[in-house]
Amino acid sequence: MDVVAVDWSGAAKNASVRIWLAHVVDGELVALRNGRTRHEVIDDLVALRSQTPQGLVAGLDFSFSFPSWFMREQSCATVADMWRLASREGESWLSDCPLPFWGRPGRPRPALPAHLRLAEASLSQRGVSPKSVFQIGGAGTVGTGSVRGMPHLRRLRASGFSIWPFDPASPWTVLEIYPRLCTGPVNKSNLEQRARHLEASPWEVPDRFAASIVGSEDAFDAAISALVMHDHLAHLAALRQTTDPVTLLEGDVWRPPKITPMSQHEDESPAASSGSGAPSPGDGSGVRPTLTAQVRRRRTDQQFFLRLRDAIQQNHRALERLGT
């Protein structure tokens, strides 16, 4: 089964620069790219479905629905009704920012029956801080990407994908992901921390992709999410349609069975590195890398960062030539 993860963007301009698609086959990252619009990325997924008779699971980084109270208020009996409504009204929601939407100038956070879906509220109890789909402006906005993403789920369903957890199981499945659940508590906005997270991981990633992963937070989210998803193929293959009436309206977020923190290179003590701490990312064994292994990795740091620096510079020059 192939795995794809898409770090999505709802930006009105230059969204193609921010949208990254990562493709993993047999545990190997075989593609990591941006430069495609939202419509083109969906075209890519539809094409991949026909090219993967063994199955394909695609994770998309936006909310697939709204809190159930809002759906009832909008007379949406099913999630398909919600997606059709978002297709018709979404752009006016984003331009006018009517209640319950907020985040634009003069539109403070209102009191609502619920800002989060049940799945998101559950994540917030685990130390993760999901944002409300009603927030369409300001720091951490997820509403814009979600409103502009939901209409595309209609096409994916029509093309033969099952949209989890709304549809019966299928070899071709689209599900909602939250990259923070895959990356762990790494400081993703920090280039050096992204580099150390990648260098500490169990995956062999080609330099041409490593440069993008380290050079772009969006590429980092897409690539790490796809690799973590592939590490949990058995879990993904076992996903089934929900029978819960609220979840059938609101949807759910796929959670890796193990949410493991990044390996903190500089902060680890020898005692912590000897096997008494949390498992290393994607390791699956429940044992940290030995101190000897970590020392060996540190010895390669300089060469690793030099290669990444050169590749990132090349990527930046290419982007400048493209006018992005």
Q: Domain extents for the chain?
A: 2-263
pLDDT for 318 equals 55
Tell me which of 31-35, 52-56, 100-104, 196-200 is least confident: 196-200
Long-range contacts of residues 144-148, Cβ cutoff 8 Å, at least 24 apart:
144/10, 144/11, 144/94, 145/8, 145/9, 145/10, 145/61, 145/62, 146/10, 146/62, 146/63, 146/64, 147/10, 147/86, 147/90, 147/93, 147/94, 148/10, 148/38, 148/90, 148/94
pLDDT for 207 equals 87
pLDDT for 125 equals 63
- Which residues make Cβ contacts (< 8 Å) with residue 128, sequence separation at least 6? 178, 180, 181
Query: Who has greater pLDDT, 128 or 18?
Result: 18
Query: Who has greater pLDDT, 158 or 292?
Result: 158
Tokens representing residue 121 in the block:
């509220």
pTM score above 0.95? no
Count Cβ atoms below 10 Å from residue 242 Cβ, excluding itself. 16
Query: Who has greater pLDDT, 324 or 281?
Result: 324
pLDDT for 267 equals 34
Residue spans of beta strands (DSSP E) within 104-235:
162-163, 172-176
Question: What pLDDT, in 10s, does the model give residues 159-192?
Answer: 999 999 999 999 999 999 999 999 988 888 899 9
Report residue 67's pLDDT band, with 50, 70 and 90 as the boundaries.
very high
Q: Average pLDDT of 276-285?
A: 33
Report residue 264's pLDDT band, with 50, 70 and 90 as the boundaries.
very low
pLDDT for 261 equals 36
pLDDT for 65 equals 98
Computed over every residue of the chain, the mean pLDDT equals 84
pLDDT for 272 equals 29
Q: Average pLDDT of 273-295?
A: 33
Tell me which of 249-253, 296-300, 304-308 is least confident: 296-300
